[in-house]
Amino acid sequence: MRQLLDFSSYDWVLFLDADCLALRDPTPLLKGKETILFQTEPAMPIQWQQFNGYLTQSEMRSLKIDGVNSGSLAVSGNCFGAVMEEWDRIDQTMPARGDTHHEQGAWNRVILDGRWPTRSFSDGSIIFPYFPLALVQKSNQRRRNLKSETDHPVLQHASPEALAIASIAHLLGPCPHEKRLALMFGLYMTRFFADRSMTLLHLLDV
């Protein structure tokens, strides 16, 4: 895409995976002096296989951070080409481990290398409401101080409170696509068809 379009005159370029649903205008998320805005997956350590392809052995032992998702990100327009070029360069090299999730592991490498100023999206602005319970239980092994499973950061993303304030819902997960699609459609209908202002009907009327 960077070879076909010139984004240098844009303030930001926002990329969202096809399994993302904008629940409200995401424009307020795009602010700050940073070059890259990113989103981590809650309670999913960066050492897990979907993130760790380009980590060093030292980073595999020492990092205490969650992995960065590559399906919801923003890059300043004047640096977009350079950032994408670096991401592609890393992705074209052989990862240190595994042979899948190249692009997401490479994106984590871009963030870790610190070549450009980065910042996470504001808390609660992007949520992941459809992680399966198995991942919750797996990551609980690293979080023994939780009072109950409902306190888990993953399950908090599926709460009514989270949906009420989120700008974007990212329906990722290894679950069957049809189940994720059903949840996305349900969120869409709830937000844009059954909301009090009847947003969808107003759009159709126009």
pLDDT per residue as tens digits for the range 137-188: 666 555 555 555 556 666 677 777 888 889 999 988 766 778 888 888 888 8
Q: Is this structure's pTM higher than 0.85? A: no
The ranges assigned to domains in the chain are 12-175, 176-206
Band of residue 190 on the pLDDT scale cut at 50, 70, 90: confident
pLDDT in tens, 24-82: 999 999 999 999 999 999 888 999 999 999 999 999 999 999 999 999 999 999 999 99
Q: What is the DSSP letter of 28?
A: G
Can you give the pLDDT at residue 104?
Answer: 94
Among candidate residues 165, 169, 190, 191, the one with its CA nearest the CA of residue 180:
169
